[in-house]
A = this chain, B = another copy of it.
């Protein structure tokens, strides 16, 4: 925003622009929108930012974000604590929960291995995963990281780390997305779908 704009608006727009996926033009529009909100709505927004940062922490067990010491999933006795689904971030937990089919527990790594970007195993929550497994009772670890270079590397690292402990380590199946059209599938997906074909 040019210098004829009020400074607090310029600062607010810069804050919005620092968020992922919001460019300077959208940020400016959002700043103007805030001006059209009433005082109460703006204070509630500011409070929501502070509350989220202050009151949300990592679950001591699965490392997912929660308000409690132990998150509702980890403290749920009806879930199968012998199966741990390892994911990159909290949004992946939401994705699995949405399927309503998974009844095990999770472990959130808060990232994927990427040595080029300085993300080495000690930057992720592998230590906490090892601690959980060494307490016993875990039979299977499902590596549910994305099918990308980083996701694959993270899954391979976890497999090498955990197999010596006598835990079964599995990986999500790759194949055609349900409802997808074969013609539009990329080569690697199609190859994976062929390789992992099932007998009817």
Chain A residues at the B interface, C-beta cutoff of 8 Å: 1-9, 11-12, 14-15, 18-21, 26, 28-35, 37, 39, 41-56, 64-67, 71-73, 89-91, 93-94, 97-98
Contact = CB atoms under 8 A, between A and B. Distances in A.
- From A53, A66, A89, name the one whose CB has the most chain B CB atoms within 10 angstroms: A53
Contacts of A46: 46-47, 49-50
A89 B43 CA distance: 24
B67 A4 contact: no
Given A19-B33, A46-B49, A56 B9 contact: yes
Nearest to A111: B36
Given A15-B44, A29-B20, A29-B91, A49 B65 contact: no
B30 A72 contact: no
A5 to B, nearest CB: 7
B6 A35 contact: no
Contact of A34 (B52, B89, B98): B52
A50 B30 CA distance: 14
A1 B32 contact: no
B31 A52 contact: yes
A41 B11 CA distance: 13
Nearest to A100: B2
Contacts of A48: 8, 11-12, 14-15
B91 A6 contact: no
A47 B84 CA distance: 40
